[in-house]
Amino acid sequence: MKYGFKVIHQYHKNLLLFSVILIVFAWTVTIVSVGGFNAQKYFKIAEQLALNEAEVSVKKDLAYRTWVSIHGGVYVPVTEKTPPNPYLSHLKNRDVTINGKPFTLMNPAYSLSQMMQDYSQLYGIKAKITSKILLNPKNASDVWEAKALDEIDKTRERFYEIAQIKDKGEFLRYMNPLVTKKSCLKCHGHQGYKVGDIRGGVAVSIPMKKHYALAKQETVYLLGSLLVIWVLGLILLLFGYRRLQFNIKQKFSMYEQYIYSLVDIIEQRDSYTAGHTRRVAEYSQVIAKAMHFSDNEVSVLYRAAMLHDIGKISTPDAILLKPGRLSPLEYSLIQEHATASYDILKSTDLFAELAEIVRHHHERYDGKGYPQGLKGDEIPVIAYVLSLADAFDAMTTDRIYKGRKTVPEALKEIKAMSGTQFHPLVAKFALDALKNITIERTPFQKPKTNIEKERFAYFYKDQLTGLYNGSYLKFILSHQDSEFKNYNFAYGVYLHHITKYNADNGWSQGNTLLYNFANELVTQFPNALIFRLFGDDFVVLHQEHIPFPEADLFKSLQDSGVSFTIKHIDIREKSLSVSDLQNFLQSLEKGDASLLFHNVTKD
């Protein structure tokens, strides 16, 4: 059995190792995917923060511009930083004097550009007003701004993207459309704009460096955490792998013991099956190796052979343990063990691969087998090997109802059945592989232990009296080399008028009389074998010749009108011959046990 488990155990170890490698790979991919996804997410968040900052900046600028526009502009002192705007010279009130000091008008665009310049210097955010029709050439658009102006002109919606600014790095570049309002016409009406026209846009460029730096920092923290989690996961997987290795080893050990236990159950229940399963497994292995089966196939076949009769657990004792030929009905019932074995094995993962082999071990090559009546290539070759090994053991094993064949005789029968019962190729290899097999000369199906004897006697006990029946007497007569040799005298006891007693008192009283009489025989002959034959006849086998008790010692017969006649044989003086056995068989047919002692009795 250990040979059978070695290959399957290694297979499961390899499967476990492959599974662990697959899990480690999946775990690594998961960690990398989580890290990559979240790193990308952090950078997306960085871009969203920059976008939010851009929107706030533009909204602030537009709010300031609106305020200036509503008030018609803002007058500020003329300074070096705020000289008169030459592009507003067409306005008559561009320059004014207040308290003797010159002031100049700053329209929304001029005032906003001043603020944007300060904002850029303070925070690095580049803001700008630009347009396709320029009032101030300084506000000319660059390449990206020109692209953005085209987009907002078409969509009238904001436009933004991450873009490079030469020598400055990456920026979120954002432009919000400037829609012409009535207050705008004061400065820009001469350019041909009308209320509602897209006159240009307010652009802002948010440097991404600081946002990306934060995203990178978060990513480093994340990847560090994931690395720790990944390592911890590997440690847990390694621990789990070691634990599973131990559990698998323990599991297979338990399964191995489980198989032994199952086989033991069958062996203890049926003494014949004990040697049968082991021999069939060995014969199957010998044939499979001769056919060059792989180690795994030999292992599977060996285990299948060890369990091929496991379904007999469900076979009634009255059939399984019957020490004689089975009736057609009994034979049909015992055939169900093949399907029962299949059902038992297929429900357990470790034995599932054995189930189909076991189910087919009574199929025949010509299709006349059972349980499915399959034929030819419909049956796996490995099942044919088990079938032949099973048949070979049946041929070479002693049974009560038939003698065993020699190995040459069995092989001759296998050769004759090649192509009908047996697969031709399997039979060919088996003829050579089994020719040197030595069969142990062991009588099978005979009871050895007290339990086996009692189980054996189950088939030979009279239900009414508990004595042995005629079938058991027939059995020991047919095996005079064993049980019968222990006894030297035989007594025939024949009750008379029992039929009249039954008619007068009823069958129930008649049964009580027979039961009590049988118990009195047991009491009078405590060391004898006592048999009840055909209702009112009894046979007693004893080691010594002792006077048979007088009729008045049997209380069961007193005042009953039932009498008896006694005859006996000294077996030492006249051994029962085949002829005597034939007389006994005739007595079974005619219902007269006295024929057993015909011509050989002594008064």
- The SS3 of residue 328 is helix
Q: What does pLDDT average to over the chain?
A: 81
* pLDDT at position 328: 82
pLDDT of residue 588: 44
pLDDT tens by residue, 236-281: 888 887 887 787 777 777 776 776 677 777 767 666 556 788 899 9
Nearest to 302 by CA among 4, 511, 600, 601: 4
Please indicate whether residue 558 or residue 267 has the higher confidence score (pLDDT).
558
Per-residue pLDDT reduced to its tens digit, 418-447 = 999 999 999 999 999 999 988 875 544 555
Residue 352 has pLDDT above 60, yes or no: yes
With a pLDDT cut of 90, the percent of the chain lying above it is 21
pTM of this structure: 0.52
Q: Which residue has the higher pLDDT, 7 or 166?
A: 166
Q: How confident is the model at residue 3 (pLDDT cuts 50, 70, 90)?
A: very low
By DSSP bridging, strand 198-207 and strand 537-542 are: unpaired
Q: Mean pLDDT: which of 422-431, 538-547, 592-601 is highest? A: 422-431
> What's the burial of 386, exposed, middle or buried (CB within 10 Å: 0-12/13-18/19+)?
buried
Q: In the chain, what are the domains? A: 2-72+107-213 (3.30.450.20), 270-433 (1.10.3210.10), 461-597 (3.30.70.270)
Once rounded to an integer, what is the mean pLDDT over residues 218-237?
Answer: 87
Q: SS3 helix, strand, coil % of the chain, rounded to 5?
A: 60, 15, 30
Predicted confidence at residue 371, as pLDDT, reads 92
**Per-residue confidence (pLDDT) for residue 581, from 0 to 100:** 46
DSSP state string for 20-80 = HHHHHHHHHHHHHHHHHHHHHHHHHHHHHHHHHHHHHHHHHHHHHHHHHHHTT-EEEE--S
Mean pLDDT of 312-340: 79
pLDDT at 10: 58
User: Which residue in the block uniquely carries the two structure tokens 């697959």?
Assistant: 22
User: Could you tell me the pLDDT band of residue 362, with boundaries at 50, 70 and 90?
Assistant: very high
Assess contact for 113 and 139: CB atoms under 8 A. yes
Q: What is the token pair recorded at 368?
A: 């006349």
The predicted-structure confidence for 368-383, as pLDDT tens digits, reads as follows 999 999 999 999 999 9
Q: What is the pLDDT of residues 34-80, one digit of tens each?
A: 888 888 888 888 888 888 988 888 888 777 777 877 777 788 898 88
CA angle 228, 232, 237 (to 5 degrees): 145
